[in-house]
């Protein structure tokens, strides 16, 4: 069957051929909340955070990058389960504060922060990860005007990159962070008020499934931070070494070996200078913590054959789940794992294409996949909808209704 080449996220059940989430049949969820529907299972998030913490050294802090899933209930949950939150906009700052997140545990990264965003962040007392020399000057001026100090970390664009991921955010010409070679000059300006220099942020890229590559990147990151710390106005309190932990989306991909990463990180820290050991080491993760805890459910509205190919047309689409349609960072379109959630036990396989209801050829949720019998009113479930799903999709496109998101 099609999904045999996919890694299927664990934790979902099968009750007489109907998929269950947290023991609840998807048919019941749709009857109650409607379709299409995003469902996030908090027990799966708890389990993933626990697994991650168990793999990482005890003294390493775990931060959640809220861009992965900014649903208020997920943000509150992650604030309670992790040690800090990474935000990327003024909107995320507002949501985080509304969710009751303690400002001291929030760090604000992202290029192109507006004056208003800097103002709000400084007033709230969150740490600003400086992405450029000009941003440092602007943050300083805004803090002075407010009569406040500004907690800062320097985001470094390292001279090395992470191998094996197409989602690189460092090691090449980038809008993110300050090139490693220029960082000492910036550090020289951060030694006095209104700046409170707190440390460094390094984010090499996303979605790596190769533990060796991540381990190598972490080792190089520590080498770099050891050198840069010498030029810092004071010993860094925080070293955010990024994350890059990926999840298997596509055929042939396998889960990341985080135990291997955790063991290597423990050795790495043990062999570093006292200055590095004294700092708080932070791993910053988004999708790894939440992607597999979410599903996207949609309902088949029509079934038709066009020039010999079968199409299952649903009430969902790329306006809700852009990533599953291959339009969010994929170079070649590949299918996410998908099931007919009301016929899990079906034995006969048919080659079908699952589309959404949008009038664009891009709106393919699954392209020529082998799935059991499916008819109008059957439910389709696309896995891995817990990260970069609803919030990363063009919800207003073509004026269809926005999807519902529920937490169980």
Ligand X SMILES: Cc1ncc(COP(=O)(O)O)c(C=O)c1O
Nearer to ligand X, 200 or 288 (CB): 288
Number of residues that bind ligand X (CB under 6 A): 15
Q: Does 217 bind ligand X (CB under 6 A)?
A: no
Of residues 161 and 378, the one with the C-beta less far from ligand X: 161
User: Which of 169/187 has CB closer to ligand X?
Assistant: 169
Helix 72-81 to helix 90-98 angle, to the nearest 10 degrees? Answer: 70
* Cα–Cα distance measured from residue 10 to residue 8, given in angstroms and rounded to the nearest whole number: 6
Binding mask 99-138 for ligand X (x = CB under 6 A): ----------x-----------------------------
Which residue lies nearer to ligand X by CB, 62 or 186? 62
Name which of residues 383 to 402 contact ligand X (CB under 6 A).
Answer: 387
CA distances from 308 to 260, 302, 304, 314, 351 (A): 48, 16, 10, 19, 10
Contact between residue 3 and residue 11 where contact means Cβ atoms under 8 Å apart: no
Contact flag: residue 65 with ligand X (CB under 6 A): yes
Residue number of the CB closest to ligand X reads 286
235-251 in b/e form (b: 16+ CB < 10 A) is ebebbbbbbbbbbbbbe
Residue 161 found at the interface with ligand X (CB under 6 A): no
Residues between 277 and 296 with contacts to ligand X, criterion CB under 6 A: 284-288
Task: For residue 86, state whether it binds ligand X (rule: CB under 6 A).
Answer: yes
Q: Which of 107, 149, 104 minimizes the C-alpha distance to 128?
A: 107
Question: In the complex with ligand X, which residue's Cβ is closer, 69 or 314?
Answer: 69
User: At closest approach, how far in Å is the CB of 88 from ligand X?
Assistant: 7
Q: Is 203 in the site for ligand X (CB under 6 A)?
A: yes
> Is the torsion defined by CA of 77, 81, 87, 93 positive or negative?
positive
Residue 207 as a binder of ligand X (CB under 6 A): the answer is yes
**DSSP string computed for 9-63:** PSSEEEETTEEEETTEEHHHHHHHH-SSEEEE-HHHHHHHHHHHHHHS-TTSEEE
Neighbours of 112 (CB within 10 A): 10
Measure CA 203 to chain center.
13
Nearer to ligand X, 68 or 78 (CB): 68
The values of phi and psi at residue 20, to 5°, are -120, 150
Nearer to ligand X, 157 or 268 (CB): 157
Binding mask 331-370 for ligand X (x = CB under 6 A): ----------------------------------------
Contacts with ligand X by CB under 6 A lie at 65, 68, 86, 109, 169, 203, 206-207, 243, 284-288, 387
């Amino acid at each position: 069957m099609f999904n045999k080449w996919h890694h299927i996220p664990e934790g979902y059940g099968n009750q007489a051929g109907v998929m269950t989430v947290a023991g609840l049949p998807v048919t019941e969820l749709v009857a109650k909340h409607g379709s299409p529907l995003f469902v996030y299972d908090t027990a799966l998030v708890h389990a993933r955070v626990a697994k991650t913490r168990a793999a990482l050294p005890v003294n390493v802090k775990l931060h959640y990058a809220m861009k992965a899933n900014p649903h208020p209930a997920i943000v509150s949950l992650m604030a309670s389960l992790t040690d800090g939150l990474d935000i990327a906009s003024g909107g995320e700052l507002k949501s985080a504060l509304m969710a009751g997140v303690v400002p001291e545990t929030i760090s604000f990264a992202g290029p192109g922060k507006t004056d208003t965003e800097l103002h709000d962040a400084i007033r709230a007392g969150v740490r600003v990860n400086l992405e450029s020399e000009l941003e440092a000057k602007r943050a300083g001026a805004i803090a002075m005007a407010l009569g406040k100090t500004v907690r800062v970390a320097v985001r470094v664009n390292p001279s090395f990159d992470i191998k094996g991921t197409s989602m690189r955010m460092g090691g090449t010409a980038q809008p993110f962070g300050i090139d490693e070679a220029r960082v000492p000059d910036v550090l020289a300006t951060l030694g006095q008020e209104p700046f409170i220099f707190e440390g460094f942020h390094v984010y090499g890229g996303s979605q790596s499934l190769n533990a060796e590559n991540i381990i190598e990147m972490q080792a190089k990151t520590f080498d770099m931070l050891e050198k840069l710390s010498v030029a810092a106005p004071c010993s860094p309190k925080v070293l955010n070494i990024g994350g890059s932990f990926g999840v298997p989306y596509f055929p042939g991909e396998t889960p990341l070996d985080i135990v291997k990463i955790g063991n290597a990180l423990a050795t790495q820290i043990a062999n570093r200078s006292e200055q590095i050991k004294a700092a708080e080491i932070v791993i910053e993760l988004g999708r790894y913590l939440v992607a597999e805890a979410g599903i996207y459910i949609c309902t088949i509205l029509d079934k038709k054959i066009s020039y010999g190919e079968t199409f299952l047309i649903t009430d969902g689409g790329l306006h809700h789940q852009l990533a599953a349609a291959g339009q969010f960072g994929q170079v070649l379109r590949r299918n996410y794992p998908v099931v007919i959630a009301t016929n899990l036990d079906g034995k006969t396989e048919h080659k079908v294409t699952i589309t959404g209801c949008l009038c664009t050829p891009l709106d393919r949720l699954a392209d020529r996949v082998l799935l059991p019998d499916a008819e109008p009113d059957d439910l389709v479930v696309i896995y891995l909808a817990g990260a970069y799903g609803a919030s990363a999709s063009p919800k207003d496109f073509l004026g269809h209704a926005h999807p519902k998101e529920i937490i169980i």
